[in-house]
């Protein structure tokens, strides 16, 4: 069995400015945040980001890493809108390609099965066609009607965070929803999976059905053990969303000074520094209780 | 003792429930507090076959309070991956909350102002384009005003009748806009012109009030009915079972 273990920084060393990067998870749920934080520490820029957006988008926008966002929405779930994403749009700082979320799924699926496009009626009559002038239509060859030819969304890189994985990259979700993480991996040239814990392969299915091992190692380039790596997004059943921290993230976006203070406190060191700073926030509360 | 009369929020809940009447064995997809209470009320009373989720990836039975985990049996699994299959199969009725809506039922949840550089960036289109051309779609507006009811939406997330017609038969084939429920009344579309009309006004609301709060002309019939009030069973379900803590008043102030 190949050992694909590596660190976040090793993953980021394989990325290049200008790449198209797909980010797994959904909204503020099971986002590969430790990998995102590693990108924030890097010199990477001009990225095209494809995602069911959450704070991954906000953080990358705030750090000026995004040239173009391919998205259907950006939300923090319990807080409907991400302030950094809003600012990036309202100042014209990023390009966007906005699609219905179902079209994103189709585009990733098309890339994963090496089809140039898949037909759909979704998008017809909506801003999706105006905002994406390159979208082409396809005539129904068997009957009436013109459909949207949703192009394959090819990714240079996929970044996802799962609950467990083995060292070869077989990766497992243990929460309620796999989201689209396996599709992101299958649509990418290189796929990197971070996870809460790397375990022996037997461990993956000792208490869980094999269907929870949603990502097969044949799609995976590298595996990163990243405990609490999805923080502050949810990663159930390992942990829920850190709502207090998410609020802090949103409040810090209010002005440049408070954002610099947030960056100084949490994002100026490495991942271990981040996790220590987060743990330090929780510590006084733990003492009181 | 008979219960206190229904307030505006409770009228809205029942109007949302009514949107699901006759839907049968399909997925009810209410977005927003009042629509969620309405969908659970519909299933607990006149629409028992409706399917509902826990807001995450499970289909669940039962009638449980908003904001709390479901108490009924899990009857299935519906991760995001499978949601679009259901949407495109047509077996779903969504109630979404638009930031803007116009006479033809175009809705905007994406961006206010110039699309290239919006004055106000909102959520993004989410699944609105696909919902509108795939299955029954209704809308909920907690505060009926000219800010929401605009002559033209700034950009189209949920597709209205005019834009669908322009896009051709692939867009109109399964299009099924049903109703718009607001804190003032219930609205649908005239079959011929596909322009919005008043279906009913809530008790205590006048037609003039509605017209004044709407940024485009509404079609008004000779007789405008009053939205029905909840019965005692429905009031008890709303007040004691589904929304005992009054979450409905976060959307509709009374």
In a domain, residue B194? The reply is yes
Q: Which residues pair with A162 in a beta bridge?
A: A195
In angstroms, rounded to a whole number, what is the distance separating the alpha carbons of residues A132 and A31? 27
In a domain, residue A246? The reply is yes
At A275 the three-state DSSP class reads helix
In a domain, residue A146? The reply is no
The structural domain count of chain B equals: 1
CATH code of residue A179: 3.40.1080.10
Identify the pLDDT of residue A166. Answer: 98
Q: What is the pLDDT of residues A204-246, one digit of tens each?
A: 999 999 999 999 999 999 999 999 999 999 999 999 999 999 9
In a domain, residue B3? The reply is no
In a domain, residue B41? The reply is yes
When scoring A25, A85, A124, A175 by the number of chain B Cβ atoms within 10 A, the one with the most, hence best to mutate, is A124
Q: Is B112 on the interface with A (CB under 8 A)?
A: no
In a domain, residue B1? The reply is no
Measure in Å the smallest separation between the Cα of B240 and chain A Cα atoms.
25
Q: What is the pLDDT of residues A27-42, one digit of tens each?
A: 999 999 999 999 999 9
CA B168 to chain centre: 25
In a domain, residue A139? The reply is no
In a domain, residue A56? The reply is yes
Please name the member of A99, A124, A178 whose beta carbon is closest to the beta carbon of B170: A124
Contacts of A146 in chain B (CB under 8 A): 168, 170
In a domain, residue B2? The reply is no
Query: Would the CA dihedral through A48, A54, A60, A63 be positive or negative?
Result: positive
**Beta carbons of B111 and A89 less than 8 Å apart:** yes
For B164, the domain range is 8-250
**Is residue A142 predicted with pLDDT exceeding 50?**
yes
Identify the pLDDT of residue A285. Answer: 57
The structural domain count of chain A equals: 1
Measure in Å the smallest separation between the Cα of A36 and chain B Cα atoms.
21
For A226, the domain range is 8-116+152-288
In a domain, residue A227? The reply is yes
ipTM: 0.96
DSSP chain B: -PPPPP-HHHHHHHHHHHHTTT--SSEEEE-SHHHHHHHHHHHHTT-TT-BEE-SSSEEE-S---TTS---S-EEEE--HHHHHHHHHHT-EEEEE--SEE-TT--EESSEES-TTS-SEE-S--TTHHHHHHHSEEEEEESS--TTTB-SS-SS-SBPPHHHHHHH-HHHHTT-EEEEEEESSEEEEE-TTT--EEEEEE-TT--HHHHHHT-SSPPB--SS-PBPPPP-HHHHHIIIIII-TT-GGGGTS--
Cα A258 to Cα A75, A88, B214: the distances in Å are 21, 17, 40
CATH code of residue B184: 3.40.1080.10
CA closest to A92 among chain B residues: B117
Q: What is the pLDDT of residues B232-253, one digit of tens each?
A: 999 999 999 999 999 999 999 9
């Amino acid at each position: 069995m190949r050992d694909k273990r590596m660190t976040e920084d090793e993953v980021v060393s394989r990325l290049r400015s200008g790449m198209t990067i797909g980010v797994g998870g959904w909204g503020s749920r099971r986002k590969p945040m430790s990998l995102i934080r590693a990108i924030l520490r890097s010199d990477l820029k001009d990225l095209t980001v494809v995602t069911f957006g959450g704070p991954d988008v906000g953080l990358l926008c705030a750090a000026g890493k995004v040239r173009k966002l391919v998205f259907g929405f950006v939300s923090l779930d319990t807080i409907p809108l991400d302030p950094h994403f809003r600012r990036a749009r309202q100042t014209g700082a990023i390009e966007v390609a906005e699609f219905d979320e179902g079209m994103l799924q189709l585009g990733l699926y098309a890339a994963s099965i090496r089809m140039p496009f898949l037909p759909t009626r979704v998008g017809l009559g909506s801003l999706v066609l105006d905002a994406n002038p390159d979208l082409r239509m396809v005539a129904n060859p068997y009957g009436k009607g013109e459909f949207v030819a949703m192009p394959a969304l090819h990714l240079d890189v996929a970044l996802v965070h799962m609950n467990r994985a083995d060292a070869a990259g077989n990766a497992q979700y243990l929460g309620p929803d796999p989201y689209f993480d396996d599709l992101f991996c299958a649509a990418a040239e290189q796929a990197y999976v971070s996870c809460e814990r790397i375990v022996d392969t037997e461990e993956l299915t000792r208490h869980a059905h094999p269907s929870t091992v949603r990502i097969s190692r044949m799609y995976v380039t590298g595996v990163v053990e990243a405990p609490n790596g999805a923080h502050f997004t949810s990663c159930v059943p390992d942990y829920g969303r850190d709502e207090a921290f998410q609020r802090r993230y949103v409040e810090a976006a209010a002005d440049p000074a408070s954002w610099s203070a947030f960056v100084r406190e949490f994002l100026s060191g490495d991942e271990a520094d981040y996790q220590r700073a987060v743990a330090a926030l929780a510590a006084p509360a733990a003492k009181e209780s | 003792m008979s219960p206190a009369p229904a307030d505006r929020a409770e009228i809205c809940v029942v109007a949302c429930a009514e949107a699901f009447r006759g839907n049968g064995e399909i997925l009810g997809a209410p977005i927003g507090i009042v629509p969620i209470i309405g969908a659970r009320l519909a299933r607990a009373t006149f629409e028992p076959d409706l399917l509902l989720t826990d807001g995450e990836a499970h289909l669940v039975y039962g009638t449980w309070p908003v904001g709390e985990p479901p108490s009924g049996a899990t009857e299935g699994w519906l991760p995001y991956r499978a949601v679009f299959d259901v949407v495109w199969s047509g077996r779903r009725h969504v109630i979404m909350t638009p930031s803007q809506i116009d006479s033809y039922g175009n809705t905007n949840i994406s961006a206010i102002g110039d699309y290239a550089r919006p004055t106000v960036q909102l959520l993004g289109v989410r699944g609105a384009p696909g919902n509108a051309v795939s299955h029954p779609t209704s809308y909920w507006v907690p505060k009926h005003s000219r800010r929401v009811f605009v002559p033209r939406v700034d950009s189209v997330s949920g597709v209205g009748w005019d834009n669908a017609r322009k896009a051709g038969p692939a867009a109109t084939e399964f299009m099924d806009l049903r109703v718009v429920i607001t804190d003032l009344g219930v609205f649908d579309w005239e079959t011929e012109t596909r322009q919005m009309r008043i279906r009913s006004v809530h008790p205590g609301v006048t037609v003039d009030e509605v017209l004044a709060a709407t940024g485009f002309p509404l079609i008004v019939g000779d007789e405008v009915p009053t939205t029905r009030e909840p019965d005692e069973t429905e009031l008890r379900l709303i007040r004691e079972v589904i929304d005992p803590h009054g979450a409905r008043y976060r959307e509709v102030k009374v």
